[in-house]
Amino acid sequence: MKEYIAETGGRYTYSDDILNLQELALSMSAVFDGCSDFIISGCEIEGPRVSPGYVWLGGKVRRFDGCADAVYPYYIYEINRHESVVYANEVNKRGRTCYLCAGAKAVPDTVDPVTDKLPAAIEVTESYAPRFIDKFFGRYAVLLDTPFARQTVKKDLVLAGTFTGQKEISSKTAVSVSGGNGYMLKGIVKADGHAAIGAYLHGLLVNEIVIRTDGTFSFMKQGKELARVTEDGISCGTSLNENARIGAVRIKGYDIYNTSDVTDEGCIRINYHGTEGGGTKYRDFAVHDGKACTTPVLKVIGRTATLQVGGLLSLQSTGRGIDIQNTAYTKDNARLTNLITWRDSAAALLATVGFDTADSFRFALRNALGDIVLAPLGAVDVLGTLKINGKSVSDTYVTVRAFTEAMGKKVDVVEGKQLSTEDFTTEYRKKLAAITTGELTEGGEGYVTSGTVAAALKMKLSADGNLSDVMDKAAARKNIDVYSKAEAGEVFLEISEGLKELVRLTADEISGLTAEEAAELKAKRQAAVRDTLDAEKKGTGELKLAKTSNLSDLPDKGKARKNLEVYSTAEIDRMMDGKLGTDSAYEGIVFTPELRDKLLEIKTGSFAYIDEGGISHAQVEGYVMTSQVVRELKKKAERLMGGYNASEKDTIATNLNLYTKAGADARFAALENLFQDYIDFLTGQGKSPMEARQLLRNKLDVLSKDEIVKDYLRKDGKLSDLSLPTAEAKRQACRAIGAAYAEEYQPLLADTGWMHMENSGSGTDTQGLFIRQIGNIVSIQGYINTARRDGSNWGGIVAVIPNKIQPPRYSVRCSAADWNDDHKYNRGSSFTIYGGSRRIQLYERGMYNVNVELNFTYFV
């Protein structure tokens, strides 16, 4: 780097000095290399006004002059141009390149003359504008306050001190805590969505706890599940416990008992619930002898509610016996059944004892194989009725006493006589029995007495009474939901009263009130009625202004003008006194913002000079005053301002070896005569005009117009004056100039050239992704970072196809994958452009913040 030094004595300035200063300035811009466009300073947004400032735009630092009437979104775009300066020998050449900028509500769509590209621009909205703090410092440093929702550090970050997070700490891969001797604790989220906290030794997994997406926990050792915690409990292969407590059940040694219930009814319930804690399937309970016996010593069958005893049932008690209880029915229900049953090995019924039917209270003792023997030490005493084959012995056999009494009452049979008369026949008895007494209220078919009918009719209304015989008129009105005359007077308003009932005060209401309080109560009721009717109080109309008066009825016009912030006619006349009238209005060109900007571009300049202090000043471009021009010309050629006479001009011409104007006119041809002076000179020597022109053409080595028209083609004819009568002649001409014959080749395909893909928002970055269309073929090439997207990892937008290029008619897709020997770490992503869409959408799992190379090619 070279530094400019100027010591006393009048130092010359060289072009190398200017280049060094420019190099110094450009080196400052190199600080921002690699950064996207942003605002360095200024450009503050205050409503429609954008203040002046400096921007980093198109790789250059530029000054923005500000805007007073911005419409958002507002764009600050680059303007580049070359300026010419005068070189030696009065030659104008390119002397500088101006990197400027301007603002508008849209970016020009014309190519910049310097960069040969569309102008770069910065979008400014009312809520956000890219600035130095987030585009420069945000690229190389972590900011304490950023306008974005998040910041991305693209490389590893190491903190020597303690890291404290005030909010959630999130990681896309893993959270690790490193210990000594190669041990590490790492928390990750796996591809299947399960979260795991594992212990690692030198990078290899030793043990881990897996938190699954279904809410369960698994304890793993080297990939093998040791135990799992679910909503149903803990499941594991082996549990070693000397004591266990599960709910109210305690297992201690070889004892199982209830530790929760402090009453005498505490119990252990077995198989109360069925499958999965429900009641859909029955359960059995079996107790074996400890020697793998096939038949349990004790088994409870849930389906049949059966208790099977595979050994001897021995009751050893102090006389408590066996108690059989039917828990479904009481003793007054015949369906109360209970049996003691004997069966053989084939389950055939042998004998039963107990209540065996559901339609009687019979207690049966049945032997299906043989006799039943009662062998008491004494007699068999039957306390109830003794039956044989279901019939009481008393109905089958007569006692001696009954037989004797019956025989004493018998009638001896007399020849020709009957025992009774048959006048009262059986039909008469049935007919008389069918006559029964009925009730009016029951609706029966029996007979009723006249007294009953008369009593019932007393409770009915007479048709000719017109409800005058109703016993309780108040109850009747309530039943049919109508008002009495007195009640209607209290509920409804009378038309003749004119709503006075609503505001009238009763004696009870004004009792104990002063006259003012009574008037206030009445005023409140009147106000409530007016609100309901949307009416105004009497007399308020006089306080309002009439539309037809046009404000002439204002009581205080001065106060009204003050309230409206307007001037009176007299005040306007005083302010306009001395101003131009409408007949003297300016009718010239309106001073527009464009004219203002053009006027601002015109700046005052000055010639290079040395001031009174001996300091040299460089020339400043711009307009100069006439006095400055006169003063400068006096330094160079003072006589040029005063003029020369004819003899002085001849002397000067001779001294400078120049021709005077008169001598030059006599010796040289005039430019405006176009060689006519030479033709006139030859004609004066005896040549004809045709010969003179021929000699001139020979001198210039050119052809005549007729010769050119006859033998050569016109440039503006585009070969249309070339005589090619046949298709073969045209093909020969195309071959001669190396061109394709139109009928044999397709037209030249349109080519957009490589263009940048567009961003869909502040979250995307397409600086490495390009697109190009040649004819109907479109190719997208480059790379994209999976973290730079707008949206989630399942459909986020990473880039947008420019409007100048057609989108695919049908959907296209490009995939990328990260292969790993351990398949569970394999990751992939896909990029999809749906038919008719311009957006590239990302679908990725586990490939966050990865540069992925894309290659789309499709036809349109």
Per-residue pLDDT reduced to its tens digit, 403-428 = 888 877 776 666 765 555 445 566 76
> Mean pLDDT across the stretch 771-779?
93
More confident residue, 243 or 578: 243
Q: Per-residue confidence at 690, pLDDT binned at 50, 70, 90?
A: confident
Among 7-21, 31-45, 195-209, 845-859, which is the least confidently predicted range? 7-21
C-alpha–C-alpha distance, residues 322 and 317, integer Å: 10
Q: Per-residue confidence at 275, pLDDT binned at 50, 70, 90?
A: confident
Tokens representing 199 are 């212990």
> Mean pLDDT across the stretch 839-853?
88
485-496 burial code (b ≥16 CB/10 A, e <16): eeeeeeeeeeee
pLDDT given at position 784: 92
| 375 three-class SS | coil
Integer Rg of the chain from CA: 61
pLDDT at 302 over 70: yes
Kindly compute the dihedral angle of the four CA atoms of residues 643, 648, 652, 658, in this order, to the nearest 10 degrees. 90
Residues with Cβ < 8 Å from 516, sequence gap 6 or more?
Answer: none
Among 22-26, 30-34, 470-474, 623-627, which is the least confidently predicted range? 22-26
pLDDT given at position 64: 94
pLDDT at 544 over 80: no
Number of H helices, E strands in the chain: 23, 36
pLDDT given at position 147: 60
Residues with Cβ < 8 Å from 679, sequence gap 6 or more?
Answer: 689, 692, 693, 696
Angle at 58 between CA 57 and CA 62, to 5 degrees: 40
Pick the CATH number of 755-859 from 2.70.150.10, 3.40.50.300, 2.60.40.2460, 2.40.128.20: 2.60.40.2460
Q: Per-residue confidence at 838, pLDDT binned at 50, 70, 90?
A: very high
pLDDT given at position 1: 61
Tens digit of each residue's pLDDT (9 = 90 or more) over 479-509: 877 777 777 766 666 666 667 777 777 777 7
pLDDT given at position 801: 94
| DSSP string computed for 403-425 | HHHHHHT-----TT--SS--SS-
Tens digit of each residue's pLDDT (9 = 90 or more) over 116-151: 999 999 999 988 888 877 776 666 566 666 665 566
Give the 3-state secondary structure of 422-456. CCCCHHHHHHHHHCCECCCCCCCCCECCHHHHHHH
Among 18-27, 312-321, 322-331, 440-449, which is the least confidently predicted range? 440-449
Do residues 299 and 287 make contact, with C-beta atoms less than 8 angstroms apart? Answer: yes
Do residues 758 and 765 make contact, with C-beta atoms less than 8 angstroms apart? Answer: no
| 49 three-class SS | strand
What backbone phi and psi angles, to 5 degrees, belong to 502? -75, -25
More confident residue, 211 or 233: 211
> Mean pLDDT across the stretch 733-757?
80
pLDDT at 597 over 70: yes
pLDDT given at position 104: 92
pLDDT given at position 36: 85
C-alpha–C-alpha distance, residues 778 and 857, integer Å: 6
Q: Per-residue confidence at 779, pLDDT binned at 50, 70, 90?
A: very high
pLDDT at 175 over 80: yes
pLDDT given at position 364: 86
Amino acid of residue 303 = R
pLDDT given at position 674: 60
pLDDT given at position 482: 79
Q: Per-residue confidence at 383, pLDDT binned at 50, 70, 90?
A: confident
In percent, how much of the chain has pLDDT > 70? 85
> Mean pLDDT across the stretch 49-78?
92
Separation in Å, CA 680 to CA 597, 698, 702: 55, 16, 19
The position carrying tokens 């130092």 is 11
Residues with Cβ < 8 Å from 750, sequence gap 6 or more?
Answer: 773, 774, 775
pLDDT at 719 over 90: no
pLDDT given at position 822: 62
C-alpha–C-alpha distance, residues 713 and 230, integer Å: 96
pLDDT given at position 187: 86
pTM over 0.75, yes/no: no
> Mean pLDDT across the stretch 574-599?
73
C-alpha–C-alpha distance, residues 223 and 733, integer Å: 81
Q: Per-residue confidence at 755, pLDDT binned at 50, 70, 90?
A: very high
pLDDT given at position 42: 92
More confident residue, 694 or 837: 837
More confident residue, 710 or 325: 325
> Mean pLDDT across the stretch 373-389?
85
Average pLDDT of the chain? 80
Where exactly are the structural domains of the chain? Answer: 34-140, 174-312, 471-543, 547-577, 609-642, 715-744, 755-859
> Mean pLDDT across the stretch 820-827?
64
Q: Per-residue confidence at 75, pLDDT binned at 50, 70, 90?
A: very high
pLDDT given at position 150: 66
